[in-house]
Structure 1
Amino acid sequence: MLNVWISIKFRQMGFFFDFYAKLDPFLARFGSYMTWLMLYMQIAGITIISVNRFSMIVFPLRSIKFWTKRMEYIFITAAYTIPILLSYPAWEYTNITFYRINGTNDGVALTILTPNGMYWVRISLVIVGLAVSIGQILLYGIMFGKGYAHHRDMVRKRTLNPNHRDRPFTAHINLAITGFVMSIALLGTVVLEYLASFNNDFNVFFYFYKVAFDFFNEFNPYLLLATCSRLREKHLAMFGIKMTSKATSTHVDKSKYDSNAQSQFHNTPKRSQVAPAQIIYSV
């Protein structure tokens, strides 16, 4: 990530242009490749999240059988392999020539692509980015429709039982909302990048594209960590930090209470009757 900011971000913002323009051409190619690799890895990751949320919300029973350890490994492998293959032309077709966008006075400098590279960019954005983002938004529309129907059913059940709650489904909906925000950011990134590639006619879209691209690439992991407690636990566990949620502590306390109640039941004299809330001795 630091290499991308050094070789791409500072140079695009016009900082130390003369210094970075004299660096080895390897940095230009590496920065261009890493930028596209991050974009495609984000697309692959959000696609997996969308498919997972869709199956969990729309087909909850079948999804349990589908998402086995083997399928998880297959999806994780594909999330790394496919972006590497799609990003390779960025390395092959990157030119080390720097230029400033026409009509701007802030000294923005870019690593341009050869004509073959620009053709690849447009094709990949239309086929991969645009198609995937629109498909994801359609999936989320179906998920939210299912969630609304489930919410109405929960309201009906809660009138009969005020303590009835479906926490797993609520967690799935929260992750679905996060994925939907990411898909909207992806769609905006793809459309603005495609418009910004026509430099002579759509120069103004470059700046909006940079904002969307930064949001899409840099804030997605934080959105996931903020909305998914299990993902936070796994992430903190990597650093040796254990986090216990309220639901877990409540479950532990309830288990202790049940075990104590059972021990009291077994130690109760024979001439006694056990009520749900207390022990009443017969006279």
Structure 2
Amino acid sequence: IVWGDIALIDGNINAQGSDIAKTGGFVETSGHYLSIDSNAIVKTKEWLLDPDNVTIEAPSLSRADTDISSEFPIGDGTENSPKKNADKTILTNETISNFLQNAKVMNITAKRKLTVNSSISIGSRSHLILHSEGQGDGGVQIDGDITSEGGNLTINSGGWVDVHKNITLGTGFLNITAGGSVAFEKGGNNARNATDAQITAQGTITVNKDDKQFRFNNVSINGMGEGLKFIANQNNFTHKFDGEINISGIVTINQTTKKDAKYWHASKDSYWNVSSLTLNDDAKFTFIKFVDSGSNSQDLRSARRRFAGVHFN
């Protein structure tokens, strides 16, 4: 663990286990002021960066270098309670991509919001983990392409996840767990072609809280290997699908309420405002919306009481 009021990292850090393969070990870098130069090389199984808000940007001419500079808040400085930053930390996408050539697992965490504004390349055998606690209505926002040929991407968010760009991992795994809604859309006016928005991977996208939503807008989803699964076994969960939706490979969307849900927990509809749904050759697409409940009510006067159905417009 490297921590200090001012922590400047511009060199080599090597953390190895005691086994023959020299695997294992982790490095954590934190501080009230943290600067990591793009020349830094870390050889370890896992590198943890732990500020409050994180933005990943392309190198800028207005910056003298590609360092990461920000303030970090208090914490125990241990593996279970790392130091965190009260202000935004800016990392360069080139630095992240370079790190992933040496550190097989990079774990970037934020207390509130984590934003990827520029493209990231994940090594074919590397694993990038993006984590937001989701405090202050925060979450994870992907505004830059994330690409790999077999590398893995995990997104854990206590809040929402918005994917506005491409995530193409080949047969690598994309696993997302969110406490808020998950969206694959452009953002803003959503004006784009589905062919310009590619989600290619295998894995599971899970929402683990009630009253949330999956949103797809003008997107192409390619479930490689065992496929992509969008799972929400929650109550009052909705879907909002708009524009062009292209499906390749194996894609499953399953929203089944919790067992014996009361009728007021199963009263939100889903909406398919889809201009075209295209299943490419050999695609297998499964959509499930199921209410597991014996509860019923005759009172549908409230605007909040719906039939938990699907509107195909």
Q: What TM-score, normalized by structure 1, do the two folds share?
A: 0.19
The answer to which structure has the higher strand fraction is 2
Structure number with higher relative contact order (C-alpha < 8 Å, ≥ 6 residues apart): 1
The answer to which structure has the higher helix fraction is 1
Structure of higher CA gyration radius: 1
Q: What TM-score, normalized by structure 2, do the two folds share?
A: 0.18
